[in-house]
Structure 1
């Protein structure tokens, strides 16, 4: 294809999506452990969002928001057990209808079963995925399902196997515009063993690495799990580097928009009895980097942004129309950004939060209510993230901060009404329970585990070529 032909076509789009990755794992966000040289270079080539937040710190709700550009309650997916409504337009369908070759590889987590039925795949020409990849794989055995629903075993370390499959898709699609969503499991824990299995070479490489202040102060499982977690992040960065090398090799790096982000973070059992499902930045802040045609190089965005805005941003960068019902905020221009991000929390608690440049305001409701229709909350936490970025000093009972809490309460009520169509009531903090450094678990999580390697029938092994 000639350079002129390339210039005339719409850009390729790749979303490199990780699972449970904290924002502070990157060198450009201050981690001194040397985990992400490829991502650090990507931040220089493109745009970095320094306070990117997930819409909900739970896998399926966050993924639904990223793919539809709607908040989880708008998309009808406010917990992990709810499949995405096939009638809601997704990025896959929109790009497919625009003439792109579309591909989805890795973890889906928005279907009703494994293999994911064709009618629940939401617009992908090429499919190599597992609904719950954490239950059909471990570190060195990865089973996904192809277009026909046949199990396919990908050789190598799990992140490498998924990346190899993505590279094959890119090589096969480089002569036509393509949209590829690569969804990796790392750095998620291995559910049935409750550990973070790094590649063998990195199993002990980060045992003395830097520990974020919240994990150092609050305990949890970081002492045994953070080294493996860091090893997983290191391999993710290497996978991202390999994918970038392929774009350069095929001479399509200048034609391709690449986004790197995650569904949510990880607090290592410091805020409740598992790893996410809390409003704290450890749970909601994620890496968000973009580069490619139409993406400003060297731009750093300090305003809080939400990953629910990724879909309309990619569509604008691709010159495609946004469907009705999708959020209309683009991250391409500073003047379109708000000064706060709205967060929905579900499963371990029914909560809502507001994240501004300076403040985090968090309210919770009775778990007996429906998380999608709850209208009564009580204040629980207030943090000044400008001086307390790891949220160790809860100010909700401070009389000196009462005016701040009142202002944030009014703004949060406005956001709930705007997004959920509900006019909520929020009881201000008045001694109804002590202020907490961390949200204590109100319920033990249950019903969220799946069957490991639950596939049936023959499978084939996909060989790396």
Structure 2
């Protein structure tokens, strides 16, 4: 596909947003009408799972299409190696103008030096935006590393900058410089990385725009959070209103961005992907907001619109957000590099039951623990390494089964089945599949020890030994060329 006919591509990336904050994800508060329209009329991945429920590792995976243990960015505070090729490199090689706006979190300095910006040509960002800004005081750094103060509420300010980027790369003025997305000169790829709905670290708060927290405080709470809100340190009821208020304002900004594209005649030729790095469990699963292998940490919104995605498609099987980089390249008509460990989702639009696509998402976790998991439509199987240092060790030689959840009958992951004799055969199959995924991700084969036996207090547990049949067919991972 020549550059003149290629679509523009925009990624809108939120921070710490659960999947069930969206209307299409079951939230009844009408927080995300724009996202919901995108999902209904475009493509909605209903079970999108992050490959790592920690900020920097998830971001490295979204830039490179590689697992955190492959890039080396297995925890926060590790910079992305300069030899790792990102989406910016691949789109630039195809003639795209590339731009980054917002939180980066893959460098070791602030402002981010040019050689640590992942190849993006245009830059307006901060390495750790929550430390260089507050809700109504936003400072980021431009191409030259100079501080730029942006007016307005923080997510509004970033969407304003995204609209300016689009306008600057569109129309006669841009055409003179060879960067026009409308007249066949040059399409653009923009990554807009918000901080909302992440907490403000120094105050441990979720600062929504004035009046927005009050609008949602004391209303609907997801069932898992409602059940666990009494856990020591849990902050559900204190923070949920501000968290929802931030998300509502982000959705309004997404609507303004789409309106701006429509007014410039670009919407129909622009792919927009909206997703998040990980979820949020409000300190109900550990002493933090994420870093656990539960849907509250792992499951995120994912919707795409534009060329190749419009038409009301649903992907109802688990997919990983590590699949987004190859999907975007594939949708733009670009070759997907063999080193990418994700897979394009486009074949699932044609055949949602495609037999050569994995039935589960694979997860690595760090910082709180060294853990691994696979998440199928029905089962969450989760192991941890008791002897590993979660800040120093990217992987381990020995893991122990930690949790097994039956999502069909326990969608809120409140009943841990690990160690039950009734589920031993099932757990063995899930263990074998997890080992396969770890090896395919480039890890050394470890030992996974069974969970210590647990008595069935009910005495009536049963599980069909074929309950996960169909999960175990051989699948080759990495990019699969389309015929």
What SS does the aligned partner of 1:41 have?
helix
Q: Could you say if the C-alpha distance between residues 6 and 204 of structure 1 is closer, same or farther in structure 2, counting changes exceeding 3 Å?
A: farther
Q: Distance in 1 between matches of 2:259 and 2:313?
A: 23
Output one character per residue of 1:231-288: Cα deviation in whole Å (capped at 9) or x when no partner: 0000011011000101110111110000000000000000110100001000010000
Q: Residue 283 of structure 1 corresponds to which residue in structure 2? A: 297
Q: Distance in 1 between matches of 2:287 and 2:196?
A: 20
Output one character per residue of 1:68-118: Cα deviation in whole Å (capped at 9) or x when no partner: 000111111000010001101100111112111111000000011100010
Aligned-pair Cα RMSD in Å: 1.8
Q: Residue 108 of structure 1 corresponds to which residue in structure 2? A: 104
- Say yes or no: does 1:315 pair with 2:325: no
Q: Is the 8 A contact 2:403 2:417 kept in 1?
A: yes
TM-score of the aligned structures, taking structure 2 as reference length: 0.87
1:389 to 390, 411, 416: 411
TM-fit CA distance, 1:6: 11
Q: Distance in 2 between matches of 1:138 and 1:379?
A: 41
Q: Residue 337 of structure 1 corresponds to which residue in structure 2? A: 357
1:119 to 92, 101, 115: 115
- Say yes or no: does 1:160 pair with 2:174: no
Q: Distance in 1 between matches of 2:106 and 2:382?
A: 27
Q: Residue 362 of structure 1 corresponds to which residue in structure 2? A: 382
Alignment of 1:255-274 (within 5 A): 255-274=269-288
TM-fit CA distance, 1:7: 10
Which 5+ residue runs of structure 1 have no aligned equivalent? 436-465
Q: Residue 214 of structure 2 corresponds to which residue in structure 1? A: 204
Q: Residue 457 of structure 1 corresponds to which residue in structure 2? A: none
What SS does the aligned partner of 1:200 have?
coil
1:254 to 268, 277, 298: 268
Output one character per residue of 1:295-348: Cα deviation in whole Å (capped at 9) or x when no partner: 142111111000111100100001111223112511111225310011000000
What SS does the aligned partner of 2:92 have?
helix
Q: Residue 226 of structure 1 corresponds to which residue in structure 2? A: 240
Q: Distance in 1 between matches of 2:455 and 2:167?
A: 58
TM-fit CA distance, 1:9: 1.6
Output one character per residue of 1:357-382: Cα deviation in whole Å (capped at 9) or x when no partner: 10000000023375324121000100
Q: Distance in 2 between matches of 1:61 and 1:296?
A: 30
- Say yes or no: does 1:144 pair with 2:164: no
Q: Residue 83 of structure 1 corresponds to which residue in structure 2? A: 79
Q: Is the 8 A contact 1:331 1:337 kept in 2?
A: no
Q: Residue 461 of structure 2 corresponds to which residue in structure 1? A: none
Q: Residue 62 of structure 2 corresponds to which residue in structure 1? A: 66
Q: Distance in 2 between matches of 1:290 and 1:83?
A: 28
Q: Distance in 2 between matches of 1:312 and 1:401?
A: 36
1:20 to 16, 19, 31: 16
Q: Distance in 2 between matches of 1:250 and 1:35?
A: 27
Q: Is the 8 A contact 2:12 2:272 kept in 1?
A: yes
* Number of equivalences: 431
Q: Residue 445 of structure 2 corresponds to which residue in structure 1? A: 423
Q: Residue 32 of structure 1 corresponds to which residue in structure 2? A: 28
Q: Which segment is superposed worse, 52-61 or 201-210?
A: 201-210
1:372 to 371, 394, 409: 394
Q: Distance in 1 between matches of 2:441 and 2:150?
A: 41
What SS does the aligned partner of 1:73 have?
helix
What SS does the aligned partner of 1:279 have?
coil
Q: Residue 472 of structure 2 corresponds to which residue in structure 1? A: none
TM-score of the aligned structures, taking structure 1 as reference length: 0.90
TM-fit CA distance, 1:386: 1.5
